[in-house]
């Protein structure tokens, strides 16, 4: 199944939240070039808009990654059943959107997240982790990979599968993935690829983000804190 430049075969929207909009213009430019023009784009935290796509700008009332994306995703779900969540610091390739939705079509009904591969991300999503070469490409690039936890850099999820992020910067997507899995759904890494600048969406203060998230998890999810952090302390 292919997608044309002019129209989308699915009733899907794109949701973006930004803090400083530093990388947002490049992302929006790639969406303008590579995403069908009838796809509505929701942007939280910036007045920037796309020249040919309907852009719905909303005020970012969140204090962290979790709150900001919950807000913009719920806004998108009020109009669409299907949403692609996008970090503000990625760049799409000509096939990112098409291949992501093609993979959604191939996967079963019990699918939670389907998210693109990238070059700045953890685990199986990171193309730098691939080992088996076939010419100038890696064999894993052409595979859909099941996994427990993904980062929704450019990720599709149906509203029936959605679980709100926790109100923290780091680990909110990890926890959400575990909760989606606990609800009986499976997460997948798509054959789709996006370039990821990295750490721009929530800022570069890794130490602060980690400490605040760990403290929240300790106070609100002590069993998970024991599982994740006991060996570090």
What range defines the domain where residue 113 resides? 12-201
**How far apart are alpha carbons 168 and 9 in whole angstroms?**
35
How far is it, in rounded angstroms, from Cα 185 to Cα 26?
A: 33
- 64 lies in a domain? yes
- How many domains does the structure of the chain reveal? 1
Q: Is residue 29 part of a domain?
A: yes
d(CA 58, CA 25): 16
- The share of the chain scoring above pLDDT 90, in percent, equals 61
Q: Does residue 212 belong to any structural domain of this protein? A: no
Residue 221 in any domain: the answer is no
Residue 181 resides in a domain: yes
What is the band of 83 on the pLDDT scale with cuts at 50, 70, 90?
very high
pLDDT digits (tens, 9 = 90+) for 86-127: 999 999 999 999 999 999 999 999 999 999 999 878 777 887
Establish if 39 belongs to a structural domain.
Answer: yes
CA 189 distance to own-chain centroid: 11
Please work out, in degrees rounded to the nearest 5, the angle formed at the alpha carbon of residue 121 by the alpha carbons of 59 and 104: 75
- 162 φ, ψ (degrees, to nearest 5): -65, 140
Q: For residue 73, give the CATH number of its domain.
A: 3.90.550.10
The pTM assigned to this predicted structure is: 0.88
- Residue 15 DSSP symbol: E
Q: How far apart, in whole angstroms, are the C-alpha atoms of residue 66 and residue 76? A: 15
Tell me the HSE value of 87 on the side-chain side, using a 13 A CA sphere. 27
Classify residue 216: in a domain, yes or no. no
Task: Kindly state whether residue 75 falls inside one of the protein's structural domains.
Answer: yes
């Amino acid at each position: 199944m292919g997608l044309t430049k002019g129209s989308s075969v699915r009733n899907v929207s794109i949701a973006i939240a930004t803090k400083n909009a530093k990388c947002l213009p490049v992302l929006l430019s790639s969406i303008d070039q590579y995403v069908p023009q009838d796809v509505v784009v929701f942007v939280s935290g910036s007045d920037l808009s796309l020249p040919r796509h309907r852009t719905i700008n909303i005020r970012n009332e969140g204090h962290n990654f979790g709150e900001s994306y919950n807000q913009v995703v719920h806004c998108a779900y009020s109009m669409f059943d299907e949403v692609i969540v996008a970090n503000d610091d990625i760049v799409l390739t000509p096939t990112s959107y098409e291949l992501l939705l093609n993979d959604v079509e191939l996967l079963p009904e019990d699918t939670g997240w389907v998210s693109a591969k990238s070059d700045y991300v953890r685990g199986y999503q990171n193309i730098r982790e691939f080992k088996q070469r076939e010419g100038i490409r890696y064999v894993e690039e052409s595979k859909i990979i099941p996994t427990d936890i993904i980062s929704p850099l450019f990720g599709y999820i149906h509203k029936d599968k959605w679980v709100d992020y926790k109100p923290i910067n780091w680990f909110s997507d990890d926890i959400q993935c575990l909760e989606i899995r606990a609800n009986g759904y499976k997460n997948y890494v798509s054959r789709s690829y996006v370039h990821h600048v990295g750490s721009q969406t929530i800022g570069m203060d890794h130490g602060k983000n980690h400490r605040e998230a760990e403290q929240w998890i300790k106070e609100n999810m002590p069993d998970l804190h024991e599982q994740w952090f006991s060996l570090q302390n």
